[in-house]
C-alpha cells in the first residue's frame, strides 16, 4: 500500500491542478477564461496553478493577441499526459488494494 | 489518503472531463415546447393533407397546392423549434455561468446539422419528384441519425431519443399513408416525453444540487 501511495503524484494533490489536467486530457487545448469558468476560480488563483504546472512542464502555454486583448491557451505536454495517467493508475491500484 | 477520498477524486476527474468536453446547456423545457409546436403543426397539417394521406403515391402535381403550404408550415415549425432550443440553451448557459458559444456547442451543432441538412435536401428532392409518401419516414430517419450523431458531444440520453426516432421512421416506412400519424408521434409526442424525462431527471436534479 505504501508503494502505491508513493506513486500518487504530489503535483495533483491540489484539486485545481487535477482539474486543469482533467480538462486538458480530453480537450487538445483550453484558453484561460474557459478554464477559469470550468473550475470556478479567480484570475490569480488559476494563474498560480497553471504556472506551477507549466514549471513542471506538464502543460504548455501559448500566448497570442486577439485584437488588443492577450489570450493564453493551454495544452498538455507528453510529460503531463504520462504523469496524469500514472496518477490515475496509482489511484486505481490504491482503490483495488483497499476494497 | 483514505478510500473515500480516492473515489471522490476519481469522480471529480470524471465530472470535469465530462463538463469540459460536452455541450451541457440543453434544457428539457425546450424539448417539451418543440413537441407542442410539432403537435400544433400536425393538427394544422391534418386539414391540409387529407388527400395526400389517403393516397400515399399521389403525384406531387395533383396535390401541388397543399404540398407547398405544408412545406411552409414545416419550415415555420422548424424555425420556431430551432429558435426555442437556442433561446433556452442560451438562458441555461447564462444561468450556469458558462459560455454558450464554445467549442462543444459548435461541435454539437455541426454534428447535428450535417446529417440533418442532407436529410432536408433529400426531402426537398422527394417533394419535387412527387414521392410524397416517403417524406415522413425520411424525416424521422434523418432526424434520428442526426440526434445519434450529436449525442457524442452532448447529453448521452439524446442517443436514445435518436434511436426511438430511427425505429419509428423504419416502422413508418412500412405503413404508407400513415406518414402524418408517425410524424406526430415522432416529432410531437416523443419530444414531449423526452422533455418531461429530461426536466425531472436532469434539470430538477441540478437545481436540487445547487440549492
Percent of the residues in chain B that have a pLDDT greater than 70, as a whole number: 87
Write the pLDDT tens digit of every residue in A66-95: 888 888 999 999 999 999 999 988 888 888
Determine the length of chain A: 99
The answer to whether B21 contacts A37, with C-beta atoms less than 8 Å apart, is no
Write the pLDDT tens digit of every residue in B102-132: 788 888 999 999 999 999 999 999 988 888 8
Of A88, A20, A89, nearest to A60 by C-alpha is A20
**Which positions 39-98 of B are in contact with A (Cβ < 8 Å)?**
97-98
pLDDT value at position A6? 59
Higher pLDDT, B68 or B197: B197
Q: Is the pLDDT of residue B4 over 50?
A: yes
The band of B46, judged by pLDDT with boundaries at 50, 70 and 90, is confident
CA distance A95 to chain B (A): 6
Q: What is the mean pLDDT of chain A?
A: 86
**CATH assignment of the domain containing A37:** 1.10.10.10
Cβ density class B153-165: b for 16+ within 10 Å, e for less: bbbeebbebbebb
d(CA A17, CA A52): 8
pLDDT value at position B195? 95
Query: Which phi and psi (to 5°) does residue A71 adopt?
Result: -130, 125
Write the pLDDT tens digit of every residue in B169-211: 999 999 988 888 999 999 999 999 999 999 998 877 666 655 4
What residues in B contact A8, CB-CB < 8 Å?
Answer: 1
pLDDT value at position B211? 46
Number of independent structural domains in chain A: 1
What residues in A contact B9, CB-CB < 8 Å?
Answer: 15, 18, 91
Residues with Cβ within 8 Å of residue B154, at least 6 apart in sequence: B22, B23, B24, B26, B104, B108
Least confident of B15-24, B91-100, B120-129, B162-171: B91-100
Task: Flag whether the pTM goes above 0.80.
Answer: no
The band of B62, judged by pLDDT with boundaries at 50, 70 and 90, is very low
The answer to whether B20 contacts A27, with C-beta atoms less than 8 Å apart, is yes
Asked if residue A47 lies in contact with residue A72, where contact means CB atoms within 8 angstroms, the answer is no
Task: Say if B13 is an interface residue toward chain A (CB within 8 Å).
Answer: yes
Of B173, B163, B149, B169, nearest to B194 by C-alpha is B163
Q: Among all residues of chain B, which has the CA nearest to that of A37?
A: B98
The answer to whether A94 contacts B13, with C-beta atoms less than 8 Å apart, is no
Partner residues linked to A70 by β-bridges: A65
Q: All 3 cell numbers of residue B134?
A: 416517403
pLDDT value at position A90? 87
pLDDT value at position B49? 64
Helices B190-198, B158-173: inter-axial angle, 10-degree rounding: 170
The answer to whether A27 contacts B103, with C-beta atoms less than 8 Å apart, is yes
Look up the domain containing A90 and give its range: 2-98
Residue whose grid cell is 423545457? B29
Asked if residue B156 lies in contact with residue B163, where contact means CB atoms within 8 angstroms, the answer is no
Q: Among all residues of chain A, which has the CA nearest to that of B100?
A: A34
Q: Among all residues of chain B, which has the CA nearest to that of A17?
A: B13
Partner residues linked to A65 by β-bridges: A70
What average pLDDT score do residues A22-45 get? 88
Q: Listing from the earlier edge strand, what are the strands of the sheet with A69-76? A: A30-31, A69-76, A59-66
The answer to whether A26 contacts B21, with C-beta atoms less than 8 Å apart, is yes
pLDDT value at position B94? 83
How far CA B126 is from CA of A7, B87, B191, in Å, comes to 62, 32, 25
Amino acid at each position: 500500500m505504501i508503494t502505491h501511495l508513493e506513486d500518487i503524484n504530489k503535483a495533483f494533490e491540489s484539486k485545481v491542478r487535477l482539474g486543469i489536467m482533467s480538462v486538458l486530457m480530453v480537450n487538445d487545448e483550453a484558453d484561460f477564461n474557459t478554464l477559469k469558468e470550468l473550475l470556478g476560480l479567480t484570475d490569480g488563483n488559476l494563474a498560480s496553478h497553471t504556472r506551477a504546472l507549466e514549471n513542471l512542464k506538464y502543460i504548455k502555454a501559448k500566448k497570442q493577441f486577439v485584437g488588443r486583448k492577450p489570450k493564453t491557451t493551454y495544452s498538455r505536454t507528453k510529460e503531463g499526459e504520462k504523469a496524469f495517467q500514472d496518477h490515475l493508475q496509482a489511484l486505481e491500484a490504491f482503490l483495488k488494494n483497499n476494497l | 489518503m483514505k478510500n473515500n477520498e480516492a473515489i471522490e477524486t476519481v469522480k471529480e476527474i470524471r465530472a470535469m472531463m465530462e463538463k469540459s468536453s460536452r455541450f451541457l446547456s440543453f434544457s428539457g423545457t425546450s424539448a417539451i415546447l418543440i413537441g407542442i409546436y410539432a403537435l400544433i403543426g400536425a393538427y394544422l397539417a391534418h386539414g391540409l393533407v387529407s388527400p395526400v394521406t389517403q393516397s400515399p403515391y399521389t403525384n406531387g402535381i395533383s396535390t401541388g397546392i397543399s404540398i407547398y403550404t405544408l412545406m411552409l408550415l414545416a419550415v415555420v415549425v422548424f424555425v420556431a423549434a430551432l429558435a426555442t432550443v437556442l433561446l433556452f440553451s442560451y438562458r441555461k448557459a447564462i444561468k450556469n455561468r458558462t459560455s454558450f458559444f464554445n467549442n462543444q456547442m459548435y461541435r454539437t451543432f455541426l454534428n447535428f446539422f450535417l446529417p440533418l441538412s442532407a436529410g432536408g435536401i433529400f426531402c426537398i428532392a422527394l417533394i419535387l419528384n412527387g414521392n410524397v409518401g416517403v417524406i415522413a419516414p425520411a424525416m424521422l430517419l434523418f432526424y434520428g441519425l442526426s440526434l445519434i450523431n450529436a449525442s457524442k458531444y452532448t447529453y448521452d440520453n439524446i442517443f436514445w431519443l435518436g434511436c426511438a426516432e430511427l425505429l419509428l421512421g423504419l416502422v413508418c416506412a412500412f405503413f404508407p399513408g400513415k406518414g402524418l400519424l408517425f410524424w406526430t408521434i415522432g416529432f410531437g409526442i416523443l419530444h414531449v416525453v423526452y422533455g418531461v424525462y429530461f426536466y425531472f431527471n436532469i434539470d430538477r436534479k441540478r437545481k436540487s444540487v445547487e440549492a
